[in-house]
């Protein structure tokens, strides 16, 4: 009974907002606040808020926010997340704090690029253009094992075991073979996240 109560209490924050982490996954975001996360630059402006289970970074034109970083570090894992990025807005989702999966409101462009949505930023373009309009949620799943990265965006595999042995720009450090945090880029533009969950792999 105690074990069952512990499981329910662990899932309760997610269930309260209409979702639960999948079997084998743990929530990265509790839907209520930014517990388990910290600002990359504590002295910078905090543009992050939580509203009804959504983690929101709101940056007005001409302003800068700051990045949000998990307290915990991870090495080999699969991470799932959903994001909403307005047209022309810019953000990024970093694996181990070093490899950026670009987030860009580029639906109107209709083409992949090194800086486009889903790209391993400035390293490899997505294999296919699968961006959605700025008013639609996008789903992503990324797996990193050793130096190999696989990404599925909006149900389509756009990177398949891509070898990446260096940081892609804006990284926390260059220790690419070491565990690192998840980090959400918050200094470029408005972006919303929900349903962030992770499964550590051997």
Q: What is the CATH number of the domain that holds 170?
A: 2.60.120.560
Place 197 in a pLDDT band, splitting at 50, 70 and 90.
Answer: very high
**Percent with pLDDT over 70 in the chain:** 90
Calculate mean pLDDT across residues 116-124: 98
pLDDT of 189: 92
pLDDT of 15: 40
**Number of domains composing the chain:** 1
Higher pLDDT, 171 or 18: 171
pLDDT of 65: 86
Higher pLDDT, 19 or 78: 78
pLDDT of 19: 54
- Give CA angle at 113 (112, 115), nearest 5°: 125
Calculate mean pLDDT across residues 155-184: 97
- What is the span of the domain harbouring residue 13? 2-200
């Amino acid at each position: 009974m105690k074990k069952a109560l512990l499981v329910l209490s662990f899932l309760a924050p997610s269930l309260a907002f209409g979702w639960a982490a999948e079997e084998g996954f743990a929530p990265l975001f509790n839907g209520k606040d930014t517990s388990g996360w910290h600002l990359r630059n504590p002295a910078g402006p905090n543009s992050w808020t939580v509203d009804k289970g959504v983690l929101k970074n709101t940056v007005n034109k001409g302003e800068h926010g700051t990045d949000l970083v998990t307290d915990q570090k991870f090495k080999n894992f699969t991470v799932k997340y959903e994001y909403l990025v307005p047209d022309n807005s810019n953000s990024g989702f970093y694996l181990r704090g070093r490899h950026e999966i670009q987030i860009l409101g580029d639906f109107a462009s209709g083409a992949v690029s090194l800086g486009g949505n889903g790209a391993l930023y400035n390293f490899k373009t997505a294999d296919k253009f699968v961006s959605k309009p700025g008013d639609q949620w996008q789903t992503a799943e990324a797996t990193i094992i050793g130096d190999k990265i696989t990404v599925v965006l909006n149900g389509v595999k756009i990177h398949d075991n891509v070898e990446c042995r260096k940081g892609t720009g804006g990284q926390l450090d260059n220790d690419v073979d070491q565990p690192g945090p998840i980090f959400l880029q918050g200094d470029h533009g408005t972006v919303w996240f929900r349903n962030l969950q992770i499964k550590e792999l051997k």
